[in-house]
Copies of this chain bind each other. A is one copy, B any other.
Amino acid sequence: MKILHHPDKADIQLSSVLYALSDPVRLFILAELRRSGERTCGDIDVPVVKSTLSHHARTLREAGVVSVRVHGTQRFLSIRTEDLESRFPGLLTSVMNAYEHSGEPMIINAE
């Protein structure tokens, strides 16, 4: 079985977390996880192909934002809420709150 690396709580870097959160697709994924607690990749409805979604999941995992639990052929994603809260208090809440109230588009319109 494949080993998925998750950074230790103490090794989670602020700039990496902020970078992971700076993509509209990834923000959407987090919002979904926040609503459901846990989701498989296949149950997240984003306008990108599987391989791209896999890339985003990896980016979030390696930044320490999400945890990935392997079960059969599926991977369940969930937010590392407690780790993030203890390392960066209030950060995730304010980001997700901002996201919910700001109508962030998932696809940037050309002007």
- The reply to whether B89 and A94 contact each other, CB–CB distance below 8 Å, is yes
The total of chain A residues at the interface (CB under 8 A) is 24
The answer, among B14, B22, B102, for a CB contact under 8 Å with A102, is B14
The answer, among B23, B87, B91, for a CB contact under 8 Å with A95, is B91
The answer, among B15, B27, B91, for a CB contact under 8 Å with A24, is B15
**What is the minimal beta-carbon distance from A14 to any residue of chain B, in angstroms?**
5
The answer, among B14, B24, B97, B104, for a CB contact under 8 Å with A104, is B14
Residues of B within 8 A of A14 (CB): 27, 95, 98-99, 102, 104
Residues of B within 8 A of A18 (CB): 18-19, 21-22, 95
- The reply to whether A89 and B95 contact each other, CB–CB distance below 8 Å, is no
A→B interface (CB under 8 Å): 13-16, 18-19, 21-24, 27, 87-91, 93-95, 97-99, 102, 104
- The reply to whether A22 and B19 contact each other, CB–CB distance below 8 Å, is yes
Give complex CA distance A102, B17 in Å.
Answer: 12
Residues of B within 8 A of A16 (CB): 22
- The reply to whether A90 and B97 contact each other, CB–CB distance below 8 Å, is yes
